[in-house]
Structure 1
Amino acid sequence: MSLTETRKIALGFKAPKFSLLDVVRNEQRMLKDLKGERATVFMFICNHCPYVIHVREELVRLANAYRLKGISFIAISSNDVENHPQDGPELMREVAQEFNFPFPYLYDETQEVAKAYQAECTPDFMVFDSELKCVYRGRLDDSTPGNSIPVSGSDLRKVLNDILAGNKLSGEQFPSMGCNIKWKS
């Protein structure tokens, strides 16, 4: 595992369009069909990273708490499955079903979507507003595997609550930390 921390990016960029395989439905899904009315949360994750495993149940709780409020969640795995077969579509489907993901789990085979969104690690979180402009990039919360801080989703929850309340967002980005995306050679 190569530990990676996300860099700050210029917020306000428009979410790039995509069409990716939804591993549960076994069909292509497009951003225009998945975006939320109020906001859209992108989660670059994978199956094997301890940092993702550490927060997986909270991702399900978050999506369940916010999806009826007009916020959609999209999980994307972009890892090279030739060298990391545990992140392949079949095993992605198993994880999504085991944890009852209430969001699509998409496979970015070409890694073009991860590059377009400047994703760096798993997990890597980005929030886009109703116009699909990026308003947050960063961590879920300050818990990590091995520290004693409980997983709460506090940083992401604050952003989502501010969006729902119509509050001005601070633009603050707390770096996410996790396994680097396994890029193809």
Structure 2
Amino acid sequence: MVRTASTMLALGVSAPDFQLVDVVSGATISLATFTGKPALLVMFISVHCPFVKHVQTQLAQIGKDYSAQGLAMVAVSPNDIEKYPDDAPEHLAALAHAEGFNFPVCADASQAVAKMYTAACTPDFFLFDGDRHLAYRGQLDDSRPSNGKPVTGQDLRHAIEFLLAGKEVDANQRPSIGCNIKWIPGNEPEYFTGIRAEE
């Protein structure tokens, strides 16, 4: 595991479209799936990553807390499942069932979607407005597996609440920190350096 920071994609960019299969329902998921929703949260996750394990119950709770207000969510797992079989689709489905996720969970076998979003770590969060322009990218909150701080989802929740209220999200955002994405050998994107992150 390499402790890695998110790339902090430029705010305002349009959400890249994709087509991935939900490991639970078998449905094909794309941006069109969420048409009409005032906000969309795209998350890059992993079953085996301790940083994701640390926050996965909070991710489920965010889905429950904001779905009635129109927040759409989708989780994407981009890791190389040949070397990390714990991230295979059946294990993603088991995680979704265990945590009660009310949003699609998709396997990005080619890692193409992770590259389009410049995802670098798990977890990595990208929150888009109703026009699918990037309003927030960064950490869930200040909690990490070893720092003793409670998992509240504070940073991401504030961004979601501002967006759903039609307010501008504060551009002062801190990067997410997590495990580096496990790229298929030879498939590493140019933006990914695997540099150990400092906080």
TM range (shorter): over 0.9
Report how far residue 78 of structure 1 moved.
Answer: 0.5
Q: Aligned letter for 2:155? A: D
Residue number in structure 1 paired with 2:192: none
Q: 1:77 to 1:35 in 2, by over 3 A?
A: farther
Matched residue of 2:95: which SS?
helix
- How many residue pairs match? The answer is 185
Q: Determine helix, strand or coil for the equivalent of 2:20.
A: strand
Q: Could you say which residue in structure 1 is the equivalent of 2:19?
A: 19
Residues 43, 74 of structure 2: 8 Å contact kept: yes
Please, which moves more after superposition, 41-50 or 3-12?
3-12
- Does the C-alpha gap of structure 1 residues 179 and 35 become closer, same or farther in structure 2, counting only changes over 3 Å? farther
Structure-2 change in CA distance of 1:118 and 1:35 (3 Å): farther
Q: 2:178 and 2:82 mapped to 1: Cα distance?
A: 20
CA distance in 2 between counterparts of 1:36 and 1:54 reads 32
Q: CA deviation at 1:74?
A: 0.7
**1:67 to partner: Cα distance:** 0.8
CA contact (8 A) 2:7 2:118 kept: no
Inter-partner Cα distance in structure 1 for 2:4 and 2:104:
25
Counterpart in the other structure of 1:74:
74
RMSD over aligned Cα atoms: 1.1
Say which SS state the counterpart of residue 4 (structure 2) adopts: strand
What is the SS of the residue equivalent to 1:152?
A: coil
Secondary structure of 1:144's counterpart equals coil
Match of 1:150 in 2: 150
Structure 2 Cα separation of the partners of residues 35 and 63 of structure 1: 17
> Helix, strand or coil: the match of 1:179?
strand
TM-score, normalised via structure 2 length: 0.90
Q: Is the 8 A contact 2:19 2:28 kept in 1?
A: yes
* 2:68 is aligned with 1:61: no
How many percent of aligned residue pairs carry the same amino acid? Answer: 44
Q: Which moved more, 1:30-39 or 1:129-138?
A: 30-39
Alignment of 1:30-41 (within 5 A): 30-35=30-35, 37-41=37-41
The unaligned stretches of length 5 or more in structure 2 are 186-199
The structure where strand makes up a greater share of residues is 1
User: Shift of the alpha carbon at 1:7?
Assistant: 2.8
**In 2 relative to 1, CA 35–84 (structure 1 residues): closer, same or farther, beyond 3 Å?**
farther
Q: What whole-Å deviation, never above 9, does each CA across 1:85-128 have from its counterpart, x for those lacking one?
A: 00000111111111111110011111000000010000001100
The answer on whether the counterparts of 1:35 and 1:72 sit within 8 Å (CA) in structure 2 is no
Map residues 1-185 of structure 1 onto 2, 5 A cutoff. 1-35=1-35, 37-185=37-185
Structure 1 unmatched ranges of 5 or more: none
Deviation at 1:36, TM superposition (A): 5.9
After TM superposition, the score normalised by the length of structure 1 is 0.96
The secondary structure found in structure 1 opposite 2:127 is strand
How far apart, CA to CA, are the structure 1 residues paired with 2:9 and 2:91?
31
- Superposition deviation, residue 170 in structure 1: 1.8
Match of 2:193 in 1: none
- Per the TM alignment, residue 35 of structure 1 is displaced from its structure 2 partner at its CA by 5.0
SS of 1:167's equivalent? coil
